[in-house]
A = this chain, B = another copy of it.
């Protein structure tokens, strides 16, 4: 059963998502379309990339991921399809694939799009997904695409004893997920004691929890989450609101200096 996922900045009160699903199951009966989310804030490719990056690997190999979020002008040449890590992706060549993928795609084509208009996701993207389902390959969609426009994730700045990171995502529970990986923490920290400053010197954490319940109710805490990213939370509380955290808020870790 072929699987297609859909990520967009359409809200769930628009018919756009249904039109794409209808188009796909009309041409490819038996295909199943699963929403990753249709509630990305308008034009926000960084948040769309975060959602897709952490969801796509859980789907079966050869799943086709349509990503209908664009922050650039809608030029025909921007529609691309690519294969990476044995998954297919269809979207705009607007930098988003550099944010989603850790390595270069194995194959890329530009989607030749006969139609026109303001809703290419229904015409070009759904069409491309069906072509991939039917042919099992990208090559019928258009010419090879050479230069992928890549945006790169904002990475923490580091020196010998400091990691200057930032908030990459605020989740449903209003926990703030940072761009600081466990690997980076271990590599810079080398087991030293540390202080984590959440946005200001007033909010200071000096230990890591392994789960939320390792802290007291109402306590601010830090842990490495299921994505191996440092997460700032408040046990039973709304960290983003109480600590005034949002995308790109500063998270600074200072390790004890070697003397």
Chain A interface residue number, banded: 35 or more
Interface string of A220-233 (1 = CB under 8 A from B): 00010110000100
Q: How far is the CB of A41 from chain B (nearest CB, A)?
A: 8
Contacts of A50 in B (CB 8 A): 15
Q: Are B18 and A5 in contact (CB under 8 A)?
A: yes
* Docked-complex contact B55 and A172, CB < 8 angstroms: no
Counted per complex, copies of this chain come to 3
A114: CB under 8 A from chain B?
no
- Assess whether A93 is interfacial by the CB under 8 Å rule: no
Chain B residues whose C-beta falls within 8 Å of the C-beta of A159 in the assembled complex:
none
Asked whether A199 is an interface residue with its Cβ less than 8 Å from the other chain, the reply is no
- Render A246-259 as a binary contact track against B, CB cut-off 8 A, 1 for contact: 00000000000000
A58 and B119 contact, CB distance less than 8 A: no
Chain B residue numbers with a CB within 8 Å of A38 are 12
Return 13 A-B CB contacts under 8 Å, by A number: A1-B25, A9-B172, A12-B38, A16-B171, A18-B55, A22-B34, A22-B60, A22-B63, A26-B60, A29-B60, A58-B122, A73-B213, A74-B212
